[in-house]
C-alpha cells in the first residue's frame, strides 16, 4: 500500500511538473502576445497621432486660406460699396446739373451700379433727324461739365427708336437712325465739349430695347430716346476677383 501511494505521488508530481511546464510555456506565449499587442497599440497610436498632426496642419492651412479669402471678399465688398456710393453721388450731381431740362424729357436711373441718363427725342432731335438742336446741346454741355470732374468714368451713348419703320434719303432704316443719333451725340461730347474719346463709345439699338408699348403715341415717344450710360472703371476690382 505504501508503495502504491508513493507511485501515485510520483505520478501526480510528474503530472504537476508537466502541467507547470505547460503553464510556464503558456505564460511565456501570453507574455509575448501581450508584448506584440502593446507594440501594435503603440504603432497604431503613433500612426493616429501622425495622421492627426497632418490633418491639423491641413486644417490650419485651410483656415489660413479661408481667412485670406474672407479678407479679399471684405475688400471687394468695400470697393463695390464705395463705387456704388460714388455713382449715387454722381446721380445727384447730374440731376442738379440738368435741373432746367423738363421732367418729361429726362430720366435718371441707377441700375447695376451704372447711371442711366435717358434723354427724349423731343429734347435732342427733330423727327427723323440726327442733328442735335440747341436745347439738346445745352443739356449735353451740362452732362460733359459733370463728367469732366470724373475722368475715369466710362460712357456709352445708345440710340433708340420706336417700331415705326423709316426710309429716307439719309436713313435706310431705324438701325441707321439710332446709330447716327448716338454718333452725333458722341461727336458733340468729344469734338465740342472735349470729352476724351477713349472713354466713350456709341451704339444704335434701333427699336429692340423699348421701355414702353409701341401701340400708343405716348409709348412710341418714350421709346424714341438716347441713353447716356455712365459706369465706373472696374480695373481696381479685377485683381481681387482674379485672386
DSSP character string of 145-185: HHHTT-TT-EEEEEE---SS----SS-SSHHHHHHHHHHHH
- Per-residue H/E/C for 4-17: HHHHHHHHHHHHHH
Residue 31 forms part of a structural domain:
no
Q: Is residue 29 in a domain?
A: no
Grid cell 476690382 is found at 237
pLDDT tens digits, one per residue of 89-119:
999 999 999 999 999 999 999 998 899 999 9
Question: In this structure, what CATH number is given to the domain that contains residue 214?
Answer: 3.30.1330.60
Q: Which of 138, 121, 143, 140 is nearest to 130 (CA)?
A: 121
Domain coverage including residue 84: 80-239
Q: Would residue 36 count as lying in a domain?
A: no
pTM flag (> 0.85): no
Q: Which residues sit opposite 156 in a β-bridge? A: 201, 229
CA distance 95 to 89: 10
Cα angle for residues 147, 190, 220 (degrees, 5° grid): 80
Tell whether the model's pLDDT for residue 144 goes beyond 70: yes
Q: Let me know if residue 7 belongs to a domain.
A: no
Residue 185, in any domain of the structure: yes
Task: Count the domains in the chain.
Answer: 1
Of 44-58, 124-138, 149-163, 181-195, the poorest mean pLDDT is in 44-58
Asked whether residue 12 is domain-assigned, the answer is no
For residues 154 and 87, the answer to whether their CB atoms sit within 8 Å is no
Take residue 229 and report the three cell numbers written for it.
450710360
Amino acid at each position: 500500500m505504501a508503495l502504491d501511494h508513493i507511485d501515485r505521488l510520483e505520478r501526480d508530481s510528474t503530472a504537476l511538473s508537466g502541467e507547470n511546464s505547460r503553464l510556464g510555456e503558456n505564460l511565456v506565449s501570453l507574455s509575448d502576445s501581450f508584448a506584440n499587442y502593446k507594440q501594435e497599440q503603440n504603432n497604431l497610436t503613433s500612426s493616429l497621432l501622425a495622421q492627426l498632426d497632418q490633418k491639423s496642419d491641413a486644417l490650419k492651412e485651410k483656415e489660413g486660406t479661408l481667412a485670406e479669402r474672407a479678407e479679399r471678399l471684405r475688400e471687394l465688398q468695400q470697393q463695390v460699396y464705395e463705387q456704388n456710393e460714388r455713382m449715387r453721388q454722381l446721380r445727384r450731381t447730374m440731376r442738379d446739373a440738368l435741373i432746367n431740362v423738363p421732367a418729361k424729357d429726362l430720366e435718371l436711373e441707377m441700375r447695376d451700379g451704372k447711371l442711366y441718363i435717358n434723354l427724349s427725342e423731343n429734347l435732342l432731335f427733330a423727327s427723323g433727324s440726327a442733328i442735335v438742336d440747341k436745347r439738346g446741346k445745352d443739356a449735353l454741355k451740362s452732362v460733359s461739365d459733370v463728367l469732366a470732374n470724373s475722368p475715369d468714368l466710362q460712357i456709352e451713348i445708345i440710340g433708340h427708336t420706336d417700331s415705326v419703320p423709316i426710309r429716307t434719303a439719309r436713313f435706310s432704316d431705324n438701325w441707321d437712325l439710332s446709330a447716327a443719333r448716338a454718333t452725333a451725340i458722341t461727336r458733340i461730347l468729344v469734338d465740342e465739349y472735349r470729352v476724351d474719346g477713349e472713354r466713350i463709345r456709341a451704339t444704335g439699338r434701333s427699336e429692340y430695347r423699348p421701355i414702353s408699348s409701341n401701340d400708343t403715341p405716348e409709348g412710341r415717344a418714350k421709346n424714341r430716346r438716347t441713353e447716356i450710360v455712365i459706369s465706373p472703371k472696374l480695373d481696381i476690382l479685377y485683381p481681387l476677383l482674379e485672386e
